[in-house]
């Protein structure tokens, strides 16, 4: 199957998931069609001088839904990028924002290049030219459309976008809100880099708390001690693995990356593995692990584990390998890692699939916090950190006076500290992921004909977006 066909099947899978959930909503077919389609698709081609040559770059920006503004979604740099892939990702963004109650419409961008073929200076040229094209067509702005990092991009690219937008809109006092995922020194927010991976951890941890659901899988409640295989050690996969191990006592037993995969049923120290990869350039030959060569790296997905976390690209679990998956829980950290055909097979096997449209929403949630910070022009915690710290200190003094006992210095510092920006961001993200999972699970229990979390998540999002349109009076 060609890359174009694979990307097409990704979009088709998203539409199938949408249709499967839409039938349970009772909304008018015309309204469902409006929610389903992409409102605006902008395809562009522009020249960039690379050395002594000129490259014609193909790029996209898709705004899926304008039921709320601005629209929001990342920009990915990849040779795989095409229009249908970006449309699929934009569609998921609309639903994702609705599920976690972030007041954005969905969008997505893509530039069809391999970023590792370019020098930083050349990438800067491409990024600034792409941003200029978006500005010309009114496809970017703090109240219009707010990009963010995605596969192949990061804080560096977002800082170039911000600087280019600001240069072309020097009278926009809220210019910093035109893009999120910026470095903290350029009006970014602490906790954004880890946000998607931390959100994945919070979502998995919450799912594992429900004893009846775990009993069906033959597992005990709680995430501690459960075994996990992670596909992809990029930003999302590495943070998911690190936080799951450090804060959830999860046992990482398998890891897959571009160069191959490793497996050790006794556990892998993810921090030591990341150090090993930095020193050697590969995860292979990590002490105590079985190696899978590059061509067989996806075989590790079929090894025994409690939780499988695909954190790479779409279409990694298909009807071909789904029957051999042994995981009891699959947490979709990537977008669209399971095809619709594979999902049917996995659900018949009783696998609990925690869908991407919910699980990787940590990135857009913390992007929302960054956007709010940019519009308010104030760092979170600045107004109340010291007040809270002094209040807690006085409470400790009161307890000491009433009990006659003295609280130790270390304990006093721990209890009386006020919240920094990172504490507030993590707290807000944790609350968002827990509340969203509860609502999805409640929808599945309420709608007797819905039997899986993805359909429940899509149903929840479609219903919320539909209510927005109905409130506007567009669809009586």
Please spell the DSSP secondary structure of 392-421, one letter per residue.
Answer: HHHHHHHHHHHH-----HHHHHHHHPPP-H
Euclidean distance between CA atoms 199 and 363, whole angstroms: 8
Euclidean distance between CA atoms 104 and 107, whole angstroms: 9
pLDDT at 1 over 50: no
Choosing from 72, 108, 125, 226, which is the catalytic residue?
108
pLDDT at 25 over 90: yes
The CATH code for residues 195-359 is 3.40.50.720
CA dihedral 439, 443, 445, 448 (to 10 degrees): 180
Euclidean distance between CA atoms 471 and 456, whole angstroms: 22
Specify whether the CB–CB gap between 150 and 62 falls below 8 A. no
- For all residues of the chain together, what is the average pLDDT? 93
How far, in whole angstroms, is CA 224 from its chain's centroid?
23
H or E stretch at 141: none
For the stretch 292-311, pLDDT in tens is 998 999 999 999 999 999 99
Specify whether the CB–CB gap between 295 and 256 falls below 8 A. no
pLDDT at 472 over 50: yes
pLDDT at 82 over 60: yes
User: What pLDDT score was predicted for residue 248?
Assistant: 96
Locate 129 and state its tokens. Answer: 């030219």
pLDDT at 8 over 50: no
Locate 22 and state its tokens. Answer: 């839409």
Specify whether the CB–CB gap between 301 and 317 falls below 8 A. yes
Give the 3-state secondary structure of residue 254.
strand
For the stretch 124-177, pLDDT in tens is 999 999 999 999 999 999 999 999 999 899 999 999 999 999 999 999 999 999
Specify whether the CB–CB gap between 353 and 455 falls below 8 A. no
Buried b (16+ CB within 10 A) or exposed e, 262-298: bbbeeebebeebbebbeeeebbbebeebebbeeeebb
Q: How many residues does the chain have?
A: 476
Locate 306 and state its tokens. Answer: 């409690």
Locate 211 and state its tokens. Answer: 């004893």
The CATH code for residues 40-186 is 3.40.50.10860
How far, in whole angstroms, is CA 428 from its chain's centroid?
15
Locate 82 and state its tokens. Answer: 């095409």
Backbone φ and ψ for 425, nearest 5 degrees, come out as -65, -45
Edge-to-edge strands, sheet with 145-149: 40-50, 53-63, 105-111, 71-77, 145-149
For the stretch 182-236, pLDDT in tens is 999 999 999 999 999 999 999 999 999 999 999 999 999 999 999 999 999 989 9
Q: Helices marked H in 75-221 — which ranges? A: 83-99, 120-136, 155-168, 195-207, 211-217
User: What pLDDT score was predicted for residue 160?
Assistant: 98
User: What pLDDT score was predicted for residue 475?
Assistant: 66
Specify whether the CB–CB gap between 357 and 455 falls below 8 A. no
- Domains 40-186 and 195-359 fall in the same CATH topology: yes
108 catalytic per annotation: yes
| Nearest to 133, CA basis, from 69, 55, 57 | 57
Q: Domain limits of the chain?
A: 40-186, 195-359
Give the 3-state secondary structure of residue 463.
helix
Q: If you search the block for the tokens 């079929």, which residue do you land on? A: 302
Read off the pLDDT band of 51 (50, 70, 90).
confident
User: What pLDDT score was predicted for residue 400?
Assistant: 83
Angle at the Cα of 448 from the Cα atoms of 319 and 346, rounded to 5 degrees: 15
More confident position, 183 or 472: 183
For the stretch 381-397, pLDDT in tens is 888 888 888 888 888 88
pLDDT at 52 over 90: no
pLDDT at 337 over 60: yes
User: What pLDDT score was predicted for residue 6?
Assistant: 47
What angle separates helix 453-472 from helix 29-36, to the nearest 10 degrees? 110
User: What pLDDT score was predicted for residue 476?
Assistant: 58
Average of per-residue pLDDT across 351-374: 96
Angle at the Cα of 471 from the Cα atoms of 468 and 476, rounded to 5 degrees: 115
User: What pLDDT score was predicted for residue 3?
Assistant: 43
Give the pTM.
0.90
């Amino acid at each position: 199957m060609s890359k174009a066909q694979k990307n097409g099947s990704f979009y088709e899978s998203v539409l199938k998931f949408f249709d499967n959930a839409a039938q349970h909503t009772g909304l008018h077919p015309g309204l469902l069609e409006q929610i389903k389609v992409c409102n605006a698709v902008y395809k562009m081609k522009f020249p960039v001088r690379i050395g002594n040559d000129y490259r014609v770059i193909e790029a996209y920006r898709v705004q899926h839904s304008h039921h709320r503004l601005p629209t929001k979604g990342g920009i990915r740099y990849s040779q795989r990028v095409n229009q249908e892939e970006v449309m699929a990702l934009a569609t998921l963004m609309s639903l994702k924002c609705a599920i976690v109650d972030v007041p954005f419409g969905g969008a997505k961008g893509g530039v069809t290049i391999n970023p590792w073929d370019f020098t930083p200076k050349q990438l800067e040229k491409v990024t600034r030219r792409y941003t200029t094209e978006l500005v010309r067509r009114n496809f970017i702005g703090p109240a219009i459309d707010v990009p963010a990092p995605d596969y192949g991009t990061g804080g560096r690219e977002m800082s170039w976008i911000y600087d280019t937008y600001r240069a072309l809109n020097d009278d926009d006092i809220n210019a910093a809100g035109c893009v999120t995922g910026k470095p903290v020194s350029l009006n970014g927010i602490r906790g954004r880099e880890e946000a998607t991976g931390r959100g994945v951890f919070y979502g998995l941890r919450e799912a594992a708390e429900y004893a009846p659901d775990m009993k069906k899988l033959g597992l005990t409640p709680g995430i501690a001690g459960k075994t996990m295989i992670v596909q992809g050690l990029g930003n999302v996969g590495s943070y998911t693995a690190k936080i799951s191990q450090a804060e959830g006592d999860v046992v990482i037993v398998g890891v897959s990356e571009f160069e191959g995969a490793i497996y050790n049923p006794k556990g892998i120290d993810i921090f030591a593995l990341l150090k090993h990869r930095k020193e050697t350039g590969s995860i292979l030959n990590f002490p105590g692990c079985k190696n899978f060569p590059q061509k067989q790296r996806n075989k590790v997905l079929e090894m025994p584990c409690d939780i499988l976390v695909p954190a790479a690209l779409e279409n990694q679990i298909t009807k071909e390998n789904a029957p051999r998956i042994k995981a009891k829980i699959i947490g979709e950290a990537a977008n669209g890692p399971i095809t619709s055909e594979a999902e049917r097979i996995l659900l018949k096997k009783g696998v609990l699939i925690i869908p991407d449209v919910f699980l990787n929403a940590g990135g857009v949630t913390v992007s929302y916090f960054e956007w709010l910070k940019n519009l308010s022009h104030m760092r979170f915690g600045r107004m109340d950190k010291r007040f809270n710290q002094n209040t807690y200190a006085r409470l400790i003094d009161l307890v000491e006076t009433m009990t006659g006992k003295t609280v130790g210095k270390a304990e006093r510092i721990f209890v009386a500290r006020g919240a920094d920006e990172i504490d507030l961001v993590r707290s807000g993200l944790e609350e968002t992921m827990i509340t969203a999972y509860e609502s999805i699970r409640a929808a599945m229990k309420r709608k007797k004909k819905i039997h899986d979390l993805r359909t429940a998540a899509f149903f929840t999002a479609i219903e919320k977006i539909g209510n927005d349109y109905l409130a506007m009076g567009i669809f009586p």
